[in-house]
Amino acid sequence: MTDNLGAIFTTDPTPVTWLLVYIVVQRLGELVYANRNTKRLLSEGGQEHGADHYQYFIFLHSAWIAIIALLVDPWQIIHPAMLALFVATQLLRVWTLASIGRWWTTRIISAPHFDRVKRGPYKYISHPNYLVVVLEIAIVPLMLGLPWLALVFSLLNALLLRHRIRVENAVLTERLT
């Protein structure tokens, strides 16, 4: 496995390279969008909750991408079924973000006068974006031949999400129905 350590950085771009570039660009774009929404929601009277664990998510997600990039074989054949699941996950991500719109942020920002989103996937599941992240953290390494990475990061993410969902659910109860 360490034969190709960092090989993605020293080879011509492959489909694996472009997949990782997509993930990085997508995540950075989400952070820009989330930060814009966070600033606006705070200016509208929102308060941040659960800030004590936010840096752990940033570290986990950054480490996930970095370790994949470091360990992946750039010539790895992308598993077609996993790629199809990944694409479906990205469609769920777009639907989720489009449904929550101005309220979406990577932080927990809330106020009693903020509306609670009940459209799109939020009609069927309380935290569809967390489902997207759970799926993505497992699917990408599986798609790239790194099953142990899928397991390790899925477990770490589950530990963080358990706490975060508890905090977020408590905060959401104060919102208008």
Contact assessment for residue 129 and residue 71, using Cβ atoms and an 8 Å cutoff: no
Claim: this prediction has a pTM higher than 0.75: yes
pLDDT in tens, 92-132: 999 999 999 999 999 999 888 888 888 999 999 989 999 99
**29 close to 93: Cβ distance less than 8 angstroms:** no
Q: Per-residue pLDDT tens for 41-81? A: 999 999 999 999 999 999 999 999 999 999 999 999 999 99
* Contact indicator for 23, 83 with CB cutoff of 8 Å: no
What residues form DSSP beta bridges with 48? 109
Q: Which residue has the tokens 């992946």?
A: 72
DSSP-derived 3-state class of residue 47: strand
